[in-house]
Amino acid sequence: MTHTDAGTDVDPARPSAPPGRARGLTAAEVAERVAQGKVNDVPVRSSRSLMEIVRANVFTRFNAIIGVLWVIMLFVAPFQDSLFGYVIIANTGIGIIQEWRAKKTLDSLAVIGESKPTVRRDGKAVGVRTSEIVLGDVIEIGPGDKIVVDGAVAEADGLEIDESLLTGEADPVVKRPGEQLMSGSFVVAGGGAFTATKVGREAYAAQLAEEASRFTLVHSELRSGISTILKYVTWMMVPTAIGLVISQLVVKDNAFKESVARTVGGIVPMVPEGLVLLTSVAFAIGVIRLGRKHVLVQELPAIEGLARVDTVCLDKTGTLTEGGMDVTEVRPLGDDGGHDDDGGHEDGDGHEDGDGHDDGDGHDDGHDDGDGDDARMGYIRKVLGALGESDPRPNASLQAIVAAFPDSDDWRCTESLPFSSARKYSGATFSEGDGESSTWLLGAPDVLLPAGDAALRETERLNEQGLRVLLLARAARELDAPDVKEGVRATALVVLEQRLRPDAADTLRYFDEQNVRAKVISGDNAVSVGAVAGKLGLPGAATPVDARELPERAEEMGKALEEGTVFGRVAPQQKRDMVGALQSRGHTVAMTGDGVNDVLALKDADIGVSMGSGSEATRAVAQIVLLDNSFAPLPSVVAEGRRVIGNITRVATLFLVKTVYSVLLAVFVVCWQVEYPFLPRHLTLLSTLTIGVPAFFLALAPNRERARPHFVKRVMRYAIPGGVLAAVATFVTYLIARHYYTGSGALGAETSAATLTLFLISMWVLAIIARPYTWWRVCLVAAMGVAFLLVLAVPWLQHFFALRLVGSVMPWTAVGIAAVAAAALEFLWKWVDRRFPA
């Protein structure tokens, strides 16, 4: 069991292939296969390419509409009436730049978080990128490793493969040499090696979906809601625009160019062209901000999804506690495995003469002063050292034992049973130095021992202190027997102390303050898990629940999960069932974890969060990877999601109020058979000051309000009444001004009056949307008002935007109508809040 050095380029955890095992390909064979194209060349991309980004931002339905109208206006109207086209160009450019920045962030983080499979080449175990694997490579695998290409098992040591992500079958499959492995599956227990038989696009997982799909946009209520809105907007636009064209070009006997300009002026504001842009920019900036904190967002809407989460399921190990552990104590029990005093390990009666405990240093001299007890402890340490060395891929508990009890090299492992989260124990059979053979198990005391055993009382007392306890027991049956744990003889309790993450308490406190319920779901002893959670201040940690006692029916399980907070002895499949039970009760569930036993639950949760040091399979199915292995950035992810959702809801209302009043104004114009009130330059000015500039700042501002569902309903319940009031008030002002200025020779005065009314109402909508006020929001609204006053006060700006307030009666009438509309809007929106709560 001695490992040899594999060289400086070798992963220290992955030794050279022992004699008799496959040495893998030589460097010359690898080069030959690369030249033949037999490489695992499936592209791994974290986002769209630059050309795809440009295409997605440029070639949109609304850009096409605006583009055609812009070209028309370039030929038939002054420059200022075609300004809307340049705004679209600027918007598109901003969208491309921001998404490109987000792509670079994703790409760089993906490289940091990318795992490197271990292959044997020239007899050495070396880590290579997935894309560098060639046909015929011998790839070493262990618990948590993902099968990256199809292959045939070359070596198997208790190898168990989970193929549920491919076949839907939840039970692990035991694999033996010669059997096939499918890419996309992962190792849950044991280890071994396999030979790559299919690489690149020929591999099974690549045929289902290339890895590039890993970062594609999955379901997002925000994006789907905006798509729904845009679909209805399109339906409204088409007939309205046709009616407006007929009205302005046929019914009214106007000059052709002016008719075209007013027609375009009526169609352009119907398009909420900046809404999609700001949504993309908000997501992209969220990715960049989180990237600076080493949070890899593998699916963009995950930012939004975590903000909607109301329940977070936390795995204890690796999430609340750090991965490492320390052996603090070994407590011999009444049976040391059957060695009597003539073997020098026991005092003759099977019990130690002393108190059975060490003096606190954990290893050497604290059990008794008798020679029999020293020899006994030496034997136990030898067993633990051999068990640690028997597993080539030790988990955190076994790593602590390996560190505390080095192998003496005089025992030979003849058979091993790797640790499995499902069975909760591992084991090995040894040929001892004196020729005897013994089988040992190491695992959860409450799994290996029958109920009521005296050792369980001591275990429970230790668990209440938040300590992790493993039982070392000698088996009476063969290791491959299905009932190997029956009749075991307890030998010692191994006590391990877990290191709490320093940031875990603050993160749990944040979730509690934000009304997000935290559920600790762990495979460890329930009492121990409850004690750890209690140290972190988690409410409800004092009453932990043993998951083995939970009902199997989803409805009953969901009720139990609502009442409890801490759950121990949870099996991997049960974690998945618990996530499903919570979802069936209407909860949006996030699952965090880093171990292979968390994969199924991470996959089924609404949002999966993995630690960067977690298993390859765990990182592959998670939407968010915390690359610094710290729980602390999770509040930042939640905050980013809330910022995106809350702010996009705000600005969507601004955009859609404009769409509603534009459609209604067009309808009124068609019905009253009058000229459209505005030229494109007027609406460009209004859109810039009351929507474009404010929306950009509001979309990127901090926002901690909790995300709420029904995006479309929440936006439209404000946009419809706001748009209706704005359209009615504006059109009333326009009709009054037309009558008032008839025969006065004040060309364009009625348009200026209508523009003033529409601006004031739009400003009031902006003022409502900007609540609650902060200093910068007040300054933002005030700055937009000052900018409009400058246009009215500076002669050349008056001329440029064709705005000229004539007299005092009509302008004040326009202000009065706007004031009445604003008061009505306040009342109406409050009534909507009460009548149609979100």
Query: What digits encode the pLDDT tens for the residues 561-572?
Result: 999 999 988 887
Q: What is the pLDDT of residues 295-305, one digit of tens each?
A: 888 776 777 88
Average pLDDT, the chain: 80
Domain limit, last residue, from 216, 233, 265: 216
The per-residue pLDDT for 268 is: 82
What tens digit of pLDDT does each residue of 715-734 get?
Answer: 888 899 999 999 999 999 99
Distances in Å between the Cα of 826 and the Cα atoms of 705, 721, 722, 819, 830 are 22, 10, 9, 11, 6
pLDDT tens column, 496-544 = 887 788 888 888 888 888 888 999 998 888 888 888 888 888 888 889 9
Domain match, 409 and 474 both: yes
Q: Residue 387's pLDDT is what?
A: 86
Give the CATH number, domain containing residue 805.
1.20.1110.10
What would the mean pLDDT of 477-506 be, rounded to a whole number?
85
Coil, helix or strand at residue 155: strand
646-673 tens-digit pLDDT: 888 888 899 999 999 999 998 998 888 8
Query: Do residues 360 and 461 share a domain?
Result: yes
Q: Are residues 453 and 527 in the same domain?
A: no
Share of residues in the chain with pLDDT > 90 (%): 17
User: Are the CB atoms for 728 and 824 separated by under 8 Å?
Assistant: no
Greater confidence, 757 or 554?
A: 757
Q: Which domain holds residue 557?
A: 294-320+501-632
* Whole-angstrom distance, CA of residue 819 vs CA of residue 825: 10
CATH of the domain at 428: 3.40.1110.10
The pairing of beta strand 468-474 with beta strand 589-593: unpaired
At residue 595 the predicted structure's pLDDT band, cuts being 50, 70 and 90, is confident
What is the mean predicted confidence (pLDDT) over 136-157? Answer: 87
Same domain membership, residue 401 and residue 364: yes
Contact 676, 262 (CB under 8 A): yes
Tokens, residue 815: 């202000």
Higher per-residue confidence, 94 vs 693: 693
* 150-162 and 138-141 beta bridge pairing: unpaired
Among 464, 497, 530, the domain-final residue is 497
Residue 712's Cβ-count burial label (10 Å; 0-12, 13-18, 19+) is middle
Tell me which H or E stretch contains 59: none
Return the CATH number at 534.
3.40.50.1000
Residue 362: the pLDDT is 39
What global pTM score does this model have? 0.69
pLDDT at 1 over 70: no
271 and 348: one domain? no
Reply yes or no on whether the pLDDT at 363 is more than 50: no
Q: Domain count of the chain?
A: 4
Q: How confident is the model at residue 757 (pLDDT cuts 50, 70, 90)?
A: very high
pLDDT tops 70 at residue 312: yes
Question: Which positions are catalytic?
Answer: 315
Q: Give the 3-state DSSP-derived string for 646-676, with helices as H, strands as E and coil as C.
A: HHHHHHHHHHHHHHHHHHHHHHHHHHHCCCC
Q: What average pLDDT does this structure show over 29-33?
A: 89
Residue 212 pLDDT greater than 60, yes or no: no
DSSP string computed for 415-469:
EEE---TTT-EEEEEEE-TTS-EEEEEEE-HHHHS-TT-HHHHHHHHHHTTT-EE
**pLDDT exceeds cutoff 50 at 202:** yes
Report the percentage of the chain scoring pLDDT > 70.
85
Q: Which two tokens stand for residue 679?
A: 């030229």
Residues 129 and 245 in one domain: no
Spatial distance between the Cα atoms of 438 and 177, rounded to a whole number of angstroms: 26
pLDDT above 50 (res 327):
yes
Rounded mean pLDDT of 345-359?
A: 38
What's the one-letter identity of residue 26? Answer: T
- CATH of residue 167's domain is 2.70.150.10
Same domain, yes or no: 725 and 785: yes
Residues 505 and 446 placed together within one structural domain of the fold: no
Judgement on whether residues 581 and 729 belong to the same structural domain of the protein: no
Same domain (yes/no): 735, 651:
yes
Where are any strands of DSSP class E within 577-645?
A: 589-593, 607-611, 624-626
Residue 401 has pLDDT above 70, yes or no: yes
What is the mean pLDDT of the segment spanning 83-107? Answer: 80
State the pLDDT at residue 765.
94
pLDDT of 260 above 90: no
Residues 729 and 753 both lie in one domain = yes
Residues 348, 274, single domain; the answer is no
**pLDDT number for residue 820:** 96
330 three-class SS: strand
- Of 120 and 618, more confident: 120
